[in-house]
Chain A
């Protein structure tokens, strides 16, 4: 590194509120309300209400508005992918992270050094959001939700085939699939359509708003109906999407002989799937698996890697062995859920 360049660790730090860029005066995905925040994506453990000013992609801002309404922030500044903006001498750009609609990596240039904060990301194609864009940098800040080599997500198509096969084996049973409201729900819908499934898919009430938002952003998801409008018997042999907790709780009793499926990267580990009462585990994840995490670290050619949350120790160990300077930030506040 040239002596004329700034060392990123002198101007980007961890604070109790989260990652902080000193010269720009902004936090990234802050845990508590701050004067100035940049938000990577709309999941609740990254986007929180009550900041004074928020910068994010138009997609993320729409998601935050739909979740928090008036409380979202004092002022909201949408920034399209790839557009640079200067904040007190720091140049900031948002580029796609491939995680969910609107998800962004934050590219921060200051005095000749570049930091990329990836937020949550994945590398495989997803018809519901823009694909991850690798960006060379000096310091790469990565997640590690699935940062162990046991996590290798199979191709989506095979997992959707499992679901469709089960529907043909058990045409009397309602297939209820646990999905997170933002991202997973819409991705499963899009993947079903891509595999040629054209029947209406029924939605738990908690999923309707976000699905409509995706449609408004021009993501076609095919016919969806609120489950409550269908007579019970019509749900036999149909797919119902619901938040994970609802699939094995009281709500599910109203479905005809439900077969519980779950779409999550955690489904890779059988005993975890079993412990959650899942009969049909579908390994579909919006996070990078081990191979994607390690390949991305190599691809962005950073000298230094910081790991925010997940299985940090394994990824730090791997990166260190590969010759990167790596450390775990031990940031709190991020969910294990996906």
Chain B
């Protein structure tokens, strides 16, 4: 357990992605089986002890420590696992048996709710403060160490010397502590058989395409589709087993029972998850209402009906179609859909065109809600996981822009911790500036240095880590779209705002109004 605790501790404090990968790689190389398998499960969020509750942890601590002191300490520290790990009185004399991670997992998995405190108590006595913290983080299921499931799998792939895609392919057929996976990565056994499980196939992704680059492509080689403003999903059904996977391979089926019910048997489909009403795509905000809920109630299902617009088929019955060309797969998709029409599923239409100019006009004319631009796919492209250069492009409509005024700045993280690099900007409402968004990208290093210097010299107030600056700098902000929002003072929220240009030249009084932003609402 100590090694795992040290890993979590180091991961928490290491800001850089490469540093985290290195720490995890070293751990996989050094830790024994099945210890590292359980650790991998913890890092990928696949370890849950449903019978262990934060209230039990609190009760254990309250039995050992003056409850008033516990309360003040919790107020000060602000995190239950950390408070209890720090306040737990070290047992005088013998510390008892320090458990391994495997022991902890194996015992907690089968323990009833009444048995959990009796297990935790001697472990807390035996472990040191870092060990207690790791144990309690595990039990309360909130690691919060800045490691996503994907990053943990990336570390595993790098350590094992295989492509991340290979890990993703076999992942959903395996369960913790993943012994066959480690056996394979260390060359003791062949890759685990995925078999007929509804596993995730890592997605084929598109490169962004700038308007200027299109001249280099031959319009005859490509097919075009609308680029929908939803989230990419993969529908996988094997017999009665059905899964709805997000782009990163997380199973989000529980949040979308309507989609799962509509899913046909024995197929793998690629499409865009949207909220649709009467054949019309609703705003991304509506989809957000569904994404925010782990299990939706009937009212939410009725008010925000989900649908998937299909654009690819990877498997039809037993047949793997990834080796076929996109044009051929498209024919198979259409034939399949003609056989198996379903409510909540429809086809994303192909957009016919003869020249890039014609297509560009179509793209810029399509102001419909839910369309972000176009997807261009080579007719002869095979389905290759990852982001291969060339076969697929996303050709977005030009971004919207607005001239705003810099209002607040905050320092960044990691390499940017000495720079004021996170900017809140506002638009005019009468004589008042109202914050309309926050951005922390889109500028060069040189511009960042200049902005940082300017912020330091022009601070009028400090709010903890935030500096308020006088109105002066005009930031031309680019964003994909703007939506109504009840959570923002301005009543609107931008999607993907970034700094487009710093208008050192422009008087701040001439910046745009909130009204101008509202006119761009979709």
Tell me the A residues contacting B by CB distance below 8 Å. Answer: 148-152, 248-250, 252-253, 260, 268-271, 273-274, 277-281, 311, 313-314, 317-318, 321
Contacts and interface: CB of A to CB of B under 8 A. Distances in A.
A270 B411 CA distance: 19
B417 interface: yes
* Size bracket of the B interface: 20 to 34
Contacts of A318: 66, 69
Contacts of B13: 270, 273-274, 278-281
Contact of B65 (A149, A250, A252, A260): A149
3 closest pairs, A vs B, by CB?
A: A150-B86, A277-B417, A150-B73
28 contacts: A148-B73, A149-B65, A149-B69, A149-B86, A149-B87, A150-B77, A248-B411, A248-B418, A252-B418, A253-B418, A269-B86, A270-B82, A271-B77, A271-B78, A271-B79, A274-B13, A277-B411, A277-B413, A278-B13, A279-B13, A279-B15, A280-B13, A311-B72, A311-B76, A314-B69, A317-B68, A317-B69, A318-B66
Nearest to B68: A317
B12 interface: yes
Contacts of A253: 418
Give the most central of B12, B73, B133: most A CB within 10 Å: B73
Contacts of B90: 152
A248 B452 CA distance: 14
Interface in B402-435: 411, 413, 417-418
Query: Chain B contact residues: over half helix, strand or loop, or mixed?
Result: helix
B140 interface: no
A18 B244 CA distance: 67
Contacts of B78: 271
Nearest to B465: A275
A148 B76 contact: yes
Nearest to A278: B13
Contact of A268 (B68, B86, B411): B86
Contact of B418 (A152, A249, A273): A249
A100 to B, nearest CB: 25
Contacts of B86: 149-152, 268-269
A66 B98 CA distance: 52
A317 B418 CA distance: 41
B125 to A, nearest CB: 15
Contacts of A250: 418, 452
A44 B76 CA distance: 25
Contacts of B154: none
Nearest to A275: B465
A252 B417 CA distance: 10
Contacts of B87: 149-150
B82 A269 contact: yes
A260 B11 CA distance: 15
Contacts of A269: 76-77, 82, 86
B14 interface: yes
A291 B105 CA distance: 33
A270 B15 CA distance: 14
A278 B12 CA distance: 10
Contacts of A274: 12-13
Contacts of B76: 148, 150, 269, 311
Contacts of A248: 411, 417-418
Contacts of B381: none
A313 B78 CA distance: 17
Given A311-B72, A313-B72, A271 B82 contact: yes
A152 B77 CA distance: 14
B481 interface: no
Contacts of B66: 149, 317-318, 321
Interface in B230-277: none
Nearest to B65: A149
Contacts of A268: 86
B199 interface: no
Given A149-B65, A249-B418, A279 B72 contact: no
Interface string B55-88: 0000000000110110011001111001100110
A281 B10 CA distance: 10
B132 to A, nearest CB: 12
A279 B12 CA distance: 9
Contacts of A149: 65-66, 69, 73, 86-87
B168 to A, nearest CB: 30
Contacts of A278: 13
Nearest to A147: B72
A149 B68 CA distance: 11
B72 A314 contact: yes
Give the most central of B9, B65, B66, B133: most A CB within 10 Å: B66
A260 B66 CA distance: 36
Given A148-B69, A149-B66, A248-B417, 15 more contacts: A148-B72, A149-B69, A150-B76, A150-B77, A150-B86, A152-B86, A248-B418, A250-B418, A269-B86, A271-B82, A277-B417, A278-B13, A311-B72, A311-B76, A317-B66
A172 to B, nearest CB: 12
B453 to A, nearest CB: 9
Nearest to B15: A279
Give the most central of B78, B86, B90: most A CB within 10 Å: B86
A253 to B, nearest CB: 6
Given A250-B418, A313-B72, A321-B66, A150 B413 contact: no
Contacts of B133: 270
Contacts of B79: 271
B13 to A, nearest CB: 5
A244 to B, nearest CB: 13
Contacts of A249: 418
A270 to B, nearest CB: 6
A48 B439 CA distance: 43
Contacts of B73: 148-150, 314
B39 to A, nearest CB: 19
Contacts of B68: 314, 317
A148 B71 CA distance: 10
Nearest to A258: B418
A152 B452 CA distance: 38
B217 to A, nearest CB: 41
A260 B68 CA distance: 35
Contacts of B12: 270, 274
A97 to B, nearest CB: 25
A280 to B, nearest CB: 7
Contacts of A313: 72
Nearest to A246: B418
Contacts of A317: 66, 68-69
Contact of B14 (A148, A279, A314): A279
A304 B69 CA distance: 21
A321 B65 CA distance: 13
A274 B12 CA distance: 8
A309 B46 CA distance: 45
A252 B69 CA distance: 39
B128 to A, nearest CB: 9
Contacts of B14: 279
Give the most central of A150, A273, A280: most B CB within 10 Å: A150
A328 B15 CA distance: 40
B225 to A, nearest CB: 44
A321 B76 CA distance: 21
Interface in B153-183: none
B414 to A, nearest CB: 8
A102 B129 CA distance: 34
